[in-house]
Structure 1
Amino acid sequence: EVHPNGVHTKGVPERPLWDCSPPHGKFWNDKSAGHISNAGIGSNNAATCLQWQSYLLDPVSVKANKEWKSEDYYNTEVEDDGGSESSHKLPSYVGEFYDARDELSSDSGMQSSVSSSIETELREVRLSLLMEIERRRQAEETLEQMQLHWRRLREQLAQVDLFVPLDPSSSQYTMNIAYELRCQLELTRFVSDSLAVDLAKAEVKMEMESELEATTFEISRLSDRLHYYETVNQEMSQRNQEAIEVARLDGQKRKRRQRWIWGSIAATIT
């Protein structure tokens, strides 16, 4: 085609230098140019990147060719040296565009490194969360075991009249458990000592009562025997008195008989 100014574009439609959209608003894989972003370019493969870069070079080459031919058209009296100078303009533009391509490649590399670092951080966060969940689960299991042991200890202490709270971590129970147990032990020891003393006294009293009962029984038995002996003594003394009286009466009778006999003999002799 021929430009209105007389510049040949070799079949490539003229576009501004800043227009980076693909021809007819399309590029490979039938995607519109509006959908292209830096992240999308960075995520494509190397072949696609080269196609996009070669596509970007086309309008720049066309524009450089157009400018070069425009200068030839308007400066027809320029010498061959001028043509050689203009022929060096295209490589300069191309070099500048190659710098832009390097920047795109560096941007895509930075984006890929950023995405990889984000993925690494996400994996680390996920791993830390899993480890924290596992530690929390182990802590809960340990807490359940400690609560079970605490309940068993509480039941065993209750059998010896020692009481501890059901939940020692409760805010209502602000006292020290060890101090409370020590106080309960001292109180229990004091009560047990008092009970032991009272039991000892009761045992001694029972023994003394039994001994007293035995002594009282022995005393009563001896008293009865003494009373019996006194009674027997009185009877024996009474019998002795009666015997003495009978013997005295018999002696008197015998003396009377003797006197009567001797009186009768004397009367007979006389």
Structure 2
Amino acid sequence: MAMYNYGLDSFTHVEHLYNNTKPIRGTNIVPIGDRRRKWECIIKVSPHQYVLSDYGEHQLSHTAAVVWTRNADGTDTVQFRNETGDYAHNGRYSFLERCMPLGMRFVVDSGKQYIHYVTSRYYLPKSADKPVVFTSQTLPLEPDAGHRHNGAWTLTSDPHPVPVIRVRVNKEAKAPYKKAIDEYLHWAWAMTPLLEGTMDWESNREATRGANAVKGNTFRDMLMDDQHEQRTTMVHAFLCELADSMGNRYWSGFSDKNVSLTSDPKKFRTKFNTWINYYGEFNDSFEEYREVK
């Protein structure tokens, strides 16, 4: 089934497509594009409003992906909506991408969705109650100009604040392990010159694989047991991360260019603390909202 940009740039253009597209046989469904994708259709709500639906002919305007409205002053308003639910809605994303008017783009970036226009992008929350709405500043072109609308658009909905994930160390959870962490740090520092001489592609791979099974409570138990069998493997895994941050490589022809992993004590301590927080699961994640300026 073919998918392509519909190029619907104005209310007049949507109205023209609706009036000149034959409904699917035996139904009132007016498809937008490929007739086999009959769930992607145009719904006439009133002479002044049309819905571009990705859920068939019964989708309501307050939940629809795109709503086109002809205002009393002759200007156009277009609303864009995301799906609801904190997971990927790839079908909706694809539909919105294909429904963008001239000059607009639908953007997915770092798990968030935006409507991009000119030099700005506007966050589109995963909520039917929080659309991004634009209104044309000028009247659309006449029908004999091909139903195109090349005028500027103005954001007429309030900009939605963008959620940002923050990470904070749970100091209360970490406090009982402070002494053990300090001892492990000094032991790791002392062991580094020995382990560094054994690091190659194969040993690094095995250490990294082994570390994946030692997290959370298992890692915390290891911190409290200075005879734990995984202590050396975990330090090796830490050194792999440290080495990567320093640009070291451990395969033939490159190892002679590596920097000593104990050449920067401050970096060693900082990276070790970050590593401890991750494997010990001492980090708490929370969501903040960044206001749009």
Q: TM-score, normalised by structure 1?
A: 0.19
Higher strand share: 2
Normalised by the size of structure 2, how large is the TM-score? 0.18
Over alpha carbons, which structure has the higher Rg? 1
Richer in helix (by share): 1
Asked which structure has the greater RCO (Cα within 8 Å, sep 6+), the reply is 2
